[in-house]
Amino acid sequence: MPSYPLRALVLRKTKLGEADLILTLLAADGRIVRAVAKGMRKPTSRFAGRLEPGCVADLMLNTGRNLEVISDARSVNLHPGLRHDYERSTAASVVVDVLDKIALEGQAEERLFGLADATLSAIEHTERTERVHTVLTAFLLKAMAMHGYRPHLDSCVSCARDAAAGRGGGFSLEAGGVLCPACGIPSGPGGVARLSKRGNEMLGWMLRSRMAEIAETDWPKGTVEECFDLIRAFVGYHLSARIKALDFYADGAGS
């Protein structure tokens, strides 16, 4: 069997037979790879503890008939701080769940791996747990942008007028951008969310900023909540799969 090395982030574990697991991995080149970890559910497994969701590892893979088989694993980053408190661990679960849904099998998007690793590090290391909410909001926004849904924030997405857009009003979930007062009523039907001027500024800043910087910055709680709610609705509108970890997070730690 030919073998090759792969650096990857573990997204999901699925039981296989009595003692094995199938791991869903986000490879460093952005591909989704599924690989068997033989015997990983036995307490004596050398893979145990190294290949949990959220861990980054250097793997040696053998090409199997249907799935790759992991022959060796070396930890690169276990992100241990993610498992220490509820806020951080539930936020990390959202990151891996979203990646699992949007990184289509075999379709490479290299930037996703870097975004994922930077986000998990930011969630792990930010000093104040309130900032975890900001980091997660920025992750969802950036992941959607990489997935082809970069929000249009500078001018009205419907009529291109820029005078009134971005001063607080509507955001079309369907069109993925701000609406001027003439084009959208924030409370109206048809997938329109409210977005304040400050919220618009925050979304623009998140798109331009690096995760490490986002993890060090405090924004008003109300603005973070507004942006989180909007991006959560945006994700729900455009991804066909339900992100269960996001619902769980929003019902608990995020509110």
Under rule CB under 5 A, residue 192 binds Zn ion: no
Which is closer to Zn ion, CB of 66 or CB of 187?
Answer: 187
CB of 196 to Zn ion, least distance (A): 17
How crowded is the C-beta side of 167, counted as CA atoms within 13 Å?
Answer: 8
Report the residue count for the chain.
255
- Residues 239 and 179: their CA atoms lie apart, in Å, by 22
Residue of 140, 147, 171, 144 lying closest to 157 (CA atoms): 171
Give start and end residues of each alpha helix (H) in 20-85.
none
Q: Which of 19, 104, 159, 241 binds Zn ion (CB under 5 A)?
A: 159
Under rule CB under 5 A, residue 203 binds Zn ion: no
Torsion angle, alpha carbons of 25, 26, 30, 33, to 10: 10
Which is closer to Zn ion, CB of 55 or CB of 183?
Answer: 183
Which is closer to Zn ion, CB of 155 or CB of 217?
Answer: 155
Q: Which of 23, 26, 146, 156 binds Zn ion (CB under 5 A)?
A: 156
Which is closer to Zn ion, CB of 159 or CB of 212?
Answer: 159
Under rule CB under 5 A, residue 227 binds Zn ion: no
Task: Kindly indicate which of the ranges 34-42, 140-148, 158-166, 211-219 contains the residues binding Zn ion, using the contact rule CB under 5 A.
Answer: 158-166
Which is closer to Zn ion, CB of 183 or CB of 195?
Answer: 183
Q: Which of 36, 180, 214, 224 binds Zn ion (CB under 5 A)?
A: 180
* CA-based end-to-end distance of the chain: 50
Bridge pairing between strands 192-195 and 177-179: unpaired
Give the number of other CB atoms < 10 A from CB of residue 89. Answer: 16
CB of 203 to Zn ion, least distance (A): 18
CB of 229 to Zn ion, least distance (A): 22
Task: Kindly indicate which of the ranges 67-75, 150-158, 193-201, 204-212 contains the residues binding Zn ion, using the contact rule CB under 5 A.
Answer: 150-158
Residue of 37, 43, 3, 5 lying closest to 23 (CA atoms): 37
* Residue ranges that bind Zn ion, judged by CB under 5 A: 156, 158-159, 180, 183
